[in-house]
């Protein structure tokens, strides 16, 4: 029969104003506009009655709550085993869409609007992909990209055995892998996997951004293929840039936030994104796909739910020849120090030794809890999430671990941030059992939930940020290797995998509540122009605004850049999803606010008359639009 494949794309942008952003964990990083919108890109595959669905979401993380809601809405034949929801891990997206309380700590509670925008958009993209199923040829490509990542935790990496370090001579994972969908000899879709954190934008940024991986996808679709995301219901090309084992990989090549290759976060986002795009596009060879490994051999899938707080790990996986057991989740003091290369954490904490917390753990806790010591030592215990979970669900303990097969390609779905060497061990485990080439086995991190970090036991002992954030202790990776070995064996033998038991559904918890207290400036109306400037190649206009949360404009835009035609009509040429635009919102006192629309005029813009428009929604007056006076672009 051959493969059938389909693709779909949808907007998943949440609250663009006064919503805590997820990723850096900073209370003052509240959304205040949009640089680029967030999108979900779905890819459906079908062969001989088997189905798979992969959805790459420009989100900080995937929450268990979102997974449950999306699975509930998918067509028959799609479920937890054959659907992978994976995040690109931008740190500049609205949060509050978890039912686990830790991730809503800077959002005032659960944000219903953002949760709905995400769940609705993912579902919309998935339905579009399944409706788009058609005969297709799939190809798999492998390449290397060496100037878009750096190891931010070198001290921990160097603790690994020489045989593991030798696999990564530059302490990075340079592999860039591309899966293409071809119809009638032309490129219809592409999914790229490459390991680098999506943290080119710093924790000082307050504009929603899909970051470097989002830029790579936006550039390929919008600038290269000419896709209009607001008008094209069935775009000619859908591309996604997904994560692999990026746990210790940073795009900040200068080894500090917002540095590398330049000192400007926006420019770094564009450059690191461009490098990922160029590496992927070079593999694909343009619109006419050539080369690569043509995929055959069918589709397969397995999933199991594992309670990572209580896994008995067999000696063949522990590395020391003895059985061990994981423990309930505990965050270490080093976790609160943050990943300093990407974004510092909280004062009073640091990677490695934390004398006060070390002393408390080693003198007052570990001597009286030998099982905890075996699992968690030498971690300086700071947040006992396991005991807290019994009172208030803080973090996920029971997580799905997934294995998908698309011909020769195997995707190991891990709901966490896996370091490159931890990923190598997971990949080797699967490859040895199923008989695959190691390059054809990828860890799909950030998939189907979130359990924080996954480090090797050797890296764990360094207690850098990543080790402090490995919640279930030094045997967490061996437990996951044991789990994926079971999935790989079941797939090889054609037998079912033990399903495990999903975590009980967590109640929503505290909800964020906000009054919609909009009012225009005295003597003004909503949409009135307050200011306009054209300086060089940058046009900017400020308007009397309403709160963006009155209507998230999912699938729409808060702004438009319009060009006047020969007949006098105005045509939109850019919106708030474009790289060249900025939408900012700020309160100006009490219930009044200002929206600023900015356009960095691209060099290839046609000469002519243009104007900027702001589209808002008042809680009492409904939708409105404000437009600037026309201006000339030479």
Asked whether residue 515 carries a pLDDT value surpassing 80, the answer given is no
Say which residues have a Cβ less than 8 Å from residue 131's Cβ, sequence separation at least 6. 6, 8
Mean predicted confidence (pLDDT) in 361-375 = 97
pLDDT of the residue at 323: 98
Active site residue 31: no
Name the pLDDT band for 513 (thresholds 50, 70, 90): confident
Give per-residue pLDDT as tens, 140-157: 999 999 999 999 999 999
**Beta strand pairing call for 30-34 and 17-23:** antiparallel
Residue 511 near residue 523 (C-beta atoms within 8 A): no
Delimit the domains of the chain by residue range.
Answer: 4-304+396-493, 529-633
Name the average pLDDT for the chain: 96
Which of these, 82, 94, 382, 66, lies nearest to 210 by C-alpha position? 94
Strand partners, 578: none
Tokens at residue 491, please? 């797939």
Give per-residue pLDDT as tens, 393-420: 999 999 999 999 999 999 999 999 999 9
The catalytic residue among 149, 153, 209, 250 is 250
Q: Kindly list the distances between the CA atom of residue 282 and the CA atoms of 190, 276, 293, in Å, as whole numbers in the listed order.
A: 12, 10, 15
Question: Between 510 and 630, whose confidence is greater?
Answer: 630
Asked whether residue 287 carries a pLDDT value surpassing 60, the answer given is no
| Largest interatomic CA distance in the chain | 82
Neighbours of 491 (CB within 10 A): 20
User: How far apart (Å, rounded) are the C-alpha atoms in residues 449 and 447?
Assistant: 6
User: How far apart (Å, rounded) are the C-alpha atoms in residues 68 and 119?
Assistant: 9
Residue 543: HSE in the Cβ half-sphere, 13 Å Cα cutoff: 31
Strand partners, 401: 304
Residue 157 near residue 165 (C-beta atoms within 8 A): yes
Give per-residue pLDDT as tens, 10-21: 999 999 999 999
Q: What is the dihedral of CA 535, 539, 544, 547, to 10 degrees?
A: -130
Asked whether residue 462 carries a pLDDT value surpassing 80, the answer given is yes
User: How far apart (Å, rounded) are the C-alpha atoms in residues 357 and 346?
Assistant: 14
Q: Kindly list the distances between the CA atom of residue 71 and the CA atoms of 114, 412, 439, in Å, as whole numbers in the listed order.
A: 18, 19, 30
Name the pLDDT band for 291 (thresholds 50, 70, 90): low
Strand partners, 315: none
Residue 32 near residue 585 (C-beta atoms within 8 A): yes
User: How far apart (Å, rounded) are the C-alpha atoms in residues 330 and 117?
Assistant: 31
Give per-residue pLDDT as tens, 547-605: 999 999 999 999 999 999 999 999 999 999 999 999 999 999 889 999 999 999 999 99
Provide the CATH number for the domain formed by 529-633 in this structure.
2.60.40.2300
Tokens at residue 440, please? 């054809």
């Amino acid at each position: 029969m051959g493969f059938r494949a389909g693709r779909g794309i949808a907007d998943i942008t949440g609250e663009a104003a006064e919503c805590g952003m997820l990723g850096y964990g900073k209370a003052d990083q509240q959304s205040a506009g949009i640089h680029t919108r967030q999108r979900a890109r779905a890819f459906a595959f079908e062969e001989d009655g088997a189905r798979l669905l992969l959805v790459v979401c420009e989100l900080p993380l995937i929450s268990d709550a979102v997974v449950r809601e999306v699975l509930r809405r998918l067509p028959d034949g799609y479920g937890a085993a054959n659907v992978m929801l994976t995040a690109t891990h931008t740190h500049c997206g609205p949060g509050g869409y978890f039912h686990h309380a830790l991730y809503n700590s800077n959002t005032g509670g659960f944000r219903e609007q953002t949760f709905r925008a995400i769940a609705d958009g993912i579902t919309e993209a998935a339905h579009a992909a399944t409706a788009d199923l058609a005969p297709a040829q799939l190809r798999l490509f492998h390449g290397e990209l060496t100037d878009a990542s750096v190891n931010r935790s070198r001290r921990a990496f160097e603790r690994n055995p020489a045989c593991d370090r030798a696999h990564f001579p530059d302490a990075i994972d340079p592999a860039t892998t591309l899966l293409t969908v071809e119809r009638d000899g032309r490129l219809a879709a592409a999914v790229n996997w490459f390991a680098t954190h999506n943290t080119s934008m710093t924790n000082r940024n307050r504009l929603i951004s899909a970051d470097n991986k989002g830029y790579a996808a936006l550039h390929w679709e919008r600038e290269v293929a000419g896709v209009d995301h607001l008008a094209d219901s069935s775009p000619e090309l859908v591309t996604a840039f997904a994560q692999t084992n990026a746990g210790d990989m940073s795009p900040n090549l200068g080894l500090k936030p917002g540095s590398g290759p330049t000192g400007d976060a926006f420019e770094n986002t564009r450059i690191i994104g461009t490098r990922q795009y160029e590496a992927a596009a070079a593999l694909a060879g343009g619109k006419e796909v050539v080369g690569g490994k043509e995929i055959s051999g069918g589709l397969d899938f397995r999933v199991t739910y594992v309670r990572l707080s209580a896994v008995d790990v067999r000696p063949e996986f522990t590395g020391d020849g003895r059985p061990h057991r994981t423990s309930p989740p505990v965050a270490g003091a080093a976790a609160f120090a943050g990943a300093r290369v990407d974004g510092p954490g909280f004062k009073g904490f640091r990677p490695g030794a934390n004398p006060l917390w070390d002393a408390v753990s080693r003198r007052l806790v570990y001597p009286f809890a030998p099982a905890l010591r075996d699992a968690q030592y030498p971690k300086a215990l700071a947040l006992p999430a396991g005991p807290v979970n019994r009172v208030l669900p803080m973090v996920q303990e029971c997580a799905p671990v997934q294995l998908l097969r698309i011909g020769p390609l195997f995707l190991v779905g891990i709901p966490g941030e896996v370091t490159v060497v931890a990923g190598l061990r997971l990949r080797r485990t699967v490859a040895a059992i199923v008989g695959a080439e190691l390059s054809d086995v990828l860890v799909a991190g950030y998939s189907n939930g979130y359990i924080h970090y996954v480090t090797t036991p050797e890296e764990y002992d360094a207690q850098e940020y990543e080790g402090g954030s490995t919640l279930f202790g030094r045997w967490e990776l061996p437990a996951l290797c044991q789990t994926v070995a079971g999935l790989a064996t079941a797939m090889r033998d054609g037998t079912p995998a033990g399903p495990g038991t999903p975590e009980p559904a967590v109640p929503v918890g505290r909800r964020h509540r906000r009054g919609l207290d909009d009012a225009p400036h005295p003597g003004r109306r909503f949409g009135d122009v307050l200011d306009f400037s054209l300086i060089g190649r940058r046009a900017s206009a400020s308007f009397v605004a309403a709160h963006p949360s009155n209507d998230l404009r999912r699938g729409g835009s808060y702004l438009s850049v319009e060009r006047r035609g020969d007949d006098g009509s105005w045509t939109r040429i850019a919106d708030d999803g474009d790289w060249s635009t900025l939408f900012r919102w700020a309160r100006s006192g009490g219930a009044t606010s200002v929206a600023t629309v900015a356009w960095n005029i691209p060099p290839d813009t046609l000469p002519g008359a243009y104007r900027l428009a702001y589209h808002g929604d008042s809680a009492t007056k409904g939708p409105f639009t404000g437009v600037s006076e026309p201006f000339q672009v030479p």
